[in-house]
């Protein structure tokens, strides 16, 4: 049942004939008030401010970081046509796309195993999935440097099987950045999928077997479609923050692995070019929004909660 339908039901129940009509009319609005206020103060206002910043131009002859409010929409085109901005932007989507697929490939079996095969260890395994959150994000990412360092265990193994040359390494590289993103966002993929799978009635899977479906067909026709809400939620929760992430690229990447988040950070904090940084933030937002809309349309959201 969708949220809208649920709210509709509640409203209908409130409109019982013998109930005074006025009572409770404002309740839904009052309930929404904190959320709306939150959105207005922490989303709408900053967005408007960011948009205005993105149209500013430097004060002629001014100091670094001095800008005046104009409505210079050319900022957008100037930024979009600059390869040092659109290449990292494109790279961000490639990295976060690969990381999302990897997280799905790792997270789905993991969630499946926890939901169906873990028995009494289920809670323990769930705790283990979120256990990394007890350690700081930054520390965990820095730990990957040690893991992937030239003298570390990963490179030693890869060298012994000849996958990595004697002088080449894994950190810093695109591989390290993608590995870092995958690792850092894995719980965001696993938990929604687990939540979906956990609600799948095992009798449905049994029924598919009774109807002569092979285990794989049963999975394809029953389990997978029923877990779709979790898969969609998981991919969105992974892809959207990963596309804007800059910590992994900063800590695990080389200059040629720069993502758009790093460009925004540098443009904002080092160049002090606030309009360009704001333009980049808006473009990033627009790209993500478009991709998410296309994705949701294709996958379908009828049964998503």
Partner 1 sequence: MGKELSRRRLLGALAASAALAGCGTQGAPGETGQTASQDPNDDTITWANWTLYLDYNRKTRSFPTLEAFEEETGYTVEYREDIDDNVSFNGKVAPQLARGMDIGYDLVTPSDSLIAQWIAKGWAAPLDKANIPNAKNLLPELENVAFDPGRVYSLTYQSGFGGLAWNKERVPNGLRSVDDLWAPELKGKVVVLSEVQDTVGLVMLAQGVDIDKPFTAEQFMNALAVVEEQVDSGQIKQVKGNSYKEDLINEQAWAAIGWSGDIFQINAEEGDKWEFALPDTGGTLWSDNFFIPSTATNKAGAEALINYYYRPEVAAKVAAWVNYMCPVKGAQEILAKTEPALAKSEWIFPTEKLLSQAQVFRDFTPEEEREYTEAFGRVVQA
Binding site for partner 1 (CB under 8 A): 58, 61-65, 84, 87-88, 149-151, 167-169, 171-172, 254-256, 258, 262-263, 266-273
Residue 153 beta carbon to partner 1: minimum distance, rounded to whole angstroms:
15
| C-alpha to C-alpha distance for 67 and 70, rounded to whole angstroms | 9
Least separation in angstroms between residue 254's CB and partner 1 is 7
Query: For 67, phi and psi rounded to 5 degrees?
Result: -130, 155
CB of 91 to partner 1, least distance (A): 10
Two structure tokens written together for 296: 């949701």
Nearer to partner 1, 85 or 112 (CB): 85
**CA atoms of 120 and 114, how far apart (whole Å):** 10
As a whole number of angstroms, the distance between CA 28 and CA 20 comes to 16
Interaxial angle between packed helices 224-244 and 174-198, expressed in degrees from 0 to 180 and rounded to the nearest 10:
140
295 contacts: CB under 8 Å, gap ≥ 6:
232, 235, 236
Nearer to partner 1, 112 or 274 (CB): 274
- Output the smallest distance, CB 58 to partner 1, in A: 8
Nearer residue to partner 1 within complex by CB, 107 or 263: 263
**Residue 263 beta carbon to partner 1: minimum distance, rounded to whole angstroms:** 6
Residue 170 or 191: the one with the smaller Cβ distance to partner 1 is: 170
Between 4 and 64, name the residue whose CB sits nearer to partner 1: 64
Nearer to partner 1 by Cβ, of 18 and 83: the residue is 83
Least distance in angstroms from the C-beta of 182 to partner 1: 22
Please count the CA atoms within 13 angstroms of the CA of 25 that sit on its side-chain side: 5
CB of 35 to partner 1, least distance (A): 29
Residue with smaller CB distance to partner 1, 188 or 274: 274
Cβ proximity to partner 1: between 235 and 257 the closer is 257
Cβ 117 vs Cβ 194: under 8 Å: no
Token pair 């979906």: residue: 196
How far is the CA of 72 from the CAs of 55, 68, 75, 78, 83, in angstroms? 5, 11, 6, 11, 20
State in angstroms the smallest separation of the CB of 56 from partner 1.
Answer: 14
* φ/ψ bin of 253: left (φ > 0), alpha (ψ from -120 to 50), beta (otherwise): beta
């Amino acid at each position: 049942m969708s949220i809208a339908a649920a709210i509709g039901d509640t409203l209908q129940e409130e409109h019982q004939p013998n109930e005074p009509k006025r009572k409770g009319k404002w309740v839904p609005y009052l309930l929404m008030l904190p959320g709306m206020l939150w959105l207005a103060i922490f989303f709408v206002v900053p967005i408007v401010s960011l948009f205005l910043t993105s149209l500013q131009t430097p004060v002629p002859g001014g100091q670094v970081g001095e800008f005046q409010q104009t409505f210079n929409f050319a900022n957008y085109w100037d930024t979009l046509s600059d390869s040092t901005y659109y290449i990292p932007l494109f790279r961000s989507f490639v990295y976060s796309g690969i990381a999302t697929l990897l997280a799905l490939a790792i997270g789905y079996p993991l969630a499946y195993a926890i939901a169906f095969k873990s028995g009494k260890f289920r809670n323990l395994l769930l705790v283990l999935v979120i256990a990394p959150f007890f350690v700081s994000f930054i520390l965990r990412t820095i730990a990957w440097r040690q893991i992937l360092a030239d003298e570390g265990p990963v490179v030693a193994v890869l060298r012994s099987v000849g996958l990595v040359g004697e002088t080449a390494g894994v950190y810093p590289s695109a591989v390290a950045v993608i590995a870092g993103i995958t690792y850092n966002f894995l719980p965001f993929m696993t938990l929604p999928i687990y939540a979906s799978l956990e609600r799948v009635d095992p009798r449905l899977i049994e029924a598919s077997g009774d109807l002569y479906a092979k285990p794989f067909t049963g999975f394809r026709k029953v389990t997978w479609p029923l877990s779709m809400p979790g898969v969609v939620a998981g991919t969105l929760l992974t892809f959207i923050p990963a596309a804007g992430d800059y910590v992994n690229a900063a800590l695990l990447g080389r200059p040629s692995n720069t993502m758009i988040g790093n460009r925004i950070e540098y443009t904002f904090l080092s160049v002090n070019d606030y309009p360009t940084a704001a333009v980049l933030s808006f473009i990033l937002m627009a790209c993500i929004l478009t991709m998410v809309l296309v994705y949701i349309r294709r996958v379908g959201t009828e049964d998503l909660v």
